[in-house]
Structure 1
Amino acid sequence: MRRSWHHTQKTADHGRPKDTISISERPPSVEDRAVPGHWEGDLLFGDRDSQIATLVERKTCYVMLVKVDGKDSETVVNALIKRSRRLPRELYRSLTWDRGKQLAAHRRFTLATEIQVYFRAPPLERYRRTFASIG
């Protein structure tokens, strides 16, 4: 029996990363862009089931593109681990990602690379911070 996509979504965080660290907990050197090695990443989808992970270094705005063979978390994390090993440790200190399920295996990435992963705040938290600053 076929079911709609909405029916298969059990909860609002179905497939989303768990045990995440918010970007608000990043070290101050990440925020002021004083030290290189802090990256922001995202996964771009193309046609014919193609994906590319983009990594942008916050201080220098250097961009790395990582070819990813699939959009599942294991494939994305494996590609990011492989790419991270090409850089010296000083040039890859942290990674900030959105809350997409592509990085649900972020703990395995951190264990394999010793690179801390931070995640963008959930939409409700961003909404509360925005209106708290206004009023």
Structure 2
Amino acid sequence: MRRSRHHTQKTEDHGRIRDAVSISERPATVEDRAVPGHWEGDLLCGSGNSQIATLVERQTRYVMLVKVDSQDSETVANALIKHVGKLPQELYKSLTWDRGTEMAGHKRFTIATDIAVYFCDPKHPWQRGSNKNTNGLLRQYLPRGIDLSVYSQAKLNAVARRLNERPGKTLGYETPAERFHQAIASTG
């Protein structure tokens, strides 16, 4: 039997992430930014179905950009798994994402990395304020409508470095890089 697209979009599972853990279940230390290692993430989209993953550490505002070749959940999870392995485990405790289906592979990500994934409430992307603010700053370097697939991981690292070297008022005019390196030193 044929069904209209409108009907398909109304089905119970369409666009939902199975077993998503709500942002309300995050530990209090995430909310008050007392402990480093809690990240917010998002997929930044460009033209021609191109995208990059943006990750922001909540306490230090440190930014990492991850080249992602496709928006499907397996590709995104693989790229994030590979990228988080570059950091000390003490600096990766949780990841908060919106309800985008690109993170439907969150369970596999958690098993591979031992990093808990929390999801914003539906239609509440502002619950990841650090990430939304950073994505706005990032648009100074990667404007809307450009093809993000032409950026290599090395170029994305250079853009992230520029953001991480910008002093911020919320950080007492220190840079995210300075704060992040202090966090690394305190874990060692």
TM-score by length of 1: 0.83
- Give the letter aligned to residue 53 of structure 1: A
Aligned-residue offset at 1:4: 6.2
- Give the letter aligned to residue 112 of structure 1: A
- Distance across 2 between alignment mates of 1:78 and 1:16: 20
- Distance across 2 between alignment mates of 1:108 and 1:10: 27
Aligned-residue offset at 1:9: 2.4
- Distance across 2 between alignment mates of 1:107 and 1:101: 13
The 3-state SS of whatever aligns with 1:56 is: strand
Aligned-residue offset at 1:17: 1.1
1:129 corresponds to: none
The 3-state SS of whatever aligns with 1:90 is: helix
2:101 corresponds to: 101
Matches for 1:64-83 after TM superposition, within 5 Å: 64-83=64-83
Please tell me whether the aligned partners of residues 8 and 14 of structure 2 are also in contact (alpha carbons under 8 angstroms).
no
Aligned-residue offset at 1:20: 1.1
In angstroms, what is the RMSD of aligned CA positions? 1.9
- Distance across 2 between alignment mates of 1:77 and 1:6: 29
Q: 1:50-99: per-residue Cα shift (whole Å, max 9, x none)? A: 11000010000001100100000001001000011111101111000001
Moved more, 13-22 or 41-50: 13-22
2:50 corresponds to: 50
Matches for 1:82-121 after TM superposition, within 5 Å: 82-121=82-121
Question: Which structure shows the bigger proportion of residues in helix conformation?
Answer: 2
2:23 corresponds to: 23
For this pair of structures, how many residues does the alignment match?
Answer: 123
Question: Which structure shows the bigger proportion of residues in strand conformation?
Answer: 1
TM-score by length of 2: 0.61
- Distance across 2 between alignment mates of 1:17 and 1:114: 19
- Distance across 1 between alignment mates of 2:39 and 2:25: 15
- Distance across 1 between alignment mates of 2:63 and 2:4: 38
Please tell me whether the aligned partners of residues 15 and 104 of structure 1 are also in contact (alpha carbons under 8 angstroms).
no
In structure 1, runs of 5+ residues without a counterpart are 125-135
- Distance across 2 between alignment mates of 1:121 and 1:59: 21
1:130 corresponds to: none
- Distance across 2 between alignment mates of 1:123 and 1:37: 25
Q: 1:21-77: per-residue Cα shift (whole Å, max 9, x none)? A: 111111111011011000000001101221100001000000110010000000100
